Structure 1
Amino acid sequence: MSLEAEIAACRICADHLPHGVRPVASFSATARLLIIGQAPGSKVHESGIPWDDASGDRLREWTGLSKDQMYDPARVALVPMGFCYPGKASGGDKPPRRECAAQWHERVLDVLPEDRLTLLVGTYAQARYLPAARTLSMTDRVRQFRDYLPHFIPLPHPAWRSTIWMRQHPWFEAEVLPVLRKAVAQRV
């Protein structure tokens, strides 16, 4: 059974998922861009397509990726921290289930090329992959993005709230996005 098929058949945290199990991930051995987000939202849970919502639209805008590029697993790996929709909590969705990253991430990373760029979208991905920076705020990690190049670029989650955050931090659009788009274009 392929790794993709194993992930699709995963039922590790089924008892904790009020909307059922539907693992969402996309990758291949040639994808030199890896995007690690939080977990699918309700719209992505319904469609089964990663980043198939307003957050995905904003992320594509930030990165300069077209839909065709983003959804081509030969170019872009889309691997969330939690592969299934965790359900609602007050103020948004529940955090991603911890079982997914522990069970699957290393196996997926082993498939991907070593010279990849990883976009760490949101605090959950940043906490796992930038452990030395856990004491920093998400804003500080993003502001210090150059410290993590050429392997990682930390980003805020592109939910609707990021519009407010971007207004408060104009350096993101002026300094981070041009570097992000150039780095992404070099990998896809």
Structure 2
Amino acid sequence: MKISQYFRTSLFRKVFSVSSIISIAVIYFLGSNLYNRISDGIIEEKISAAISEGEAAIQYADYRFLIASLNRNSDYKTIVDEIVKSTSVSAKSSGREIALLSSTGKRIAGIPSRSTSNFLEPASIPSELRQLVTQDDEIHWQRTNLQYFNGESVPGVAVGHRIDIKSVGQYEMYVLFDFASQQQTIDLIGR
């Protein structure tokens, strides 16, 4: 018996086959849509939390530099080390990295022109984000890949703001967060 004869002989087979194909297609499209919405929601929630936490870390650093500017004998290098090294574990473990970059690219008052935590490459910060940060006094963010000197690259987000250090100059501070745990959750949902 040929396939065409199989369907011609029974109305039930035709209806059952067509409804099965339509049901499978609808379930597939609904599942894909739901998966995409959940994935986007998880990442968007991480970005929102990263912006809030990044803003708090930047305000803390700005406050530390402001207090230090009141004392003429302040050791800015020590303060920078404390701020940058506040994350002694990588972004995979702690969830964040710190970068403090001089807007002029020069070492001033003992502060290196580029300070990053855990061997993070300064190239992890997109040039478009750096431009935005230097142009105004707002918090800016952008998705990026956290790149390390060992060649490792992790998807994430960078939150940045300009910091004016009295008697030293302008710096840009970035707090970078990875998406490792969010990606694990998305992968678990996708199974």
Larger relative strand fraction: 2
Q: Please state which band the TM-score falls in when normalised by the shorter chain.
A: under 0.3
TM-score (norm 1): 0.26
Which has the bigger relative contact order, CA under 8 A and spacing at least 6?
Answer: 1
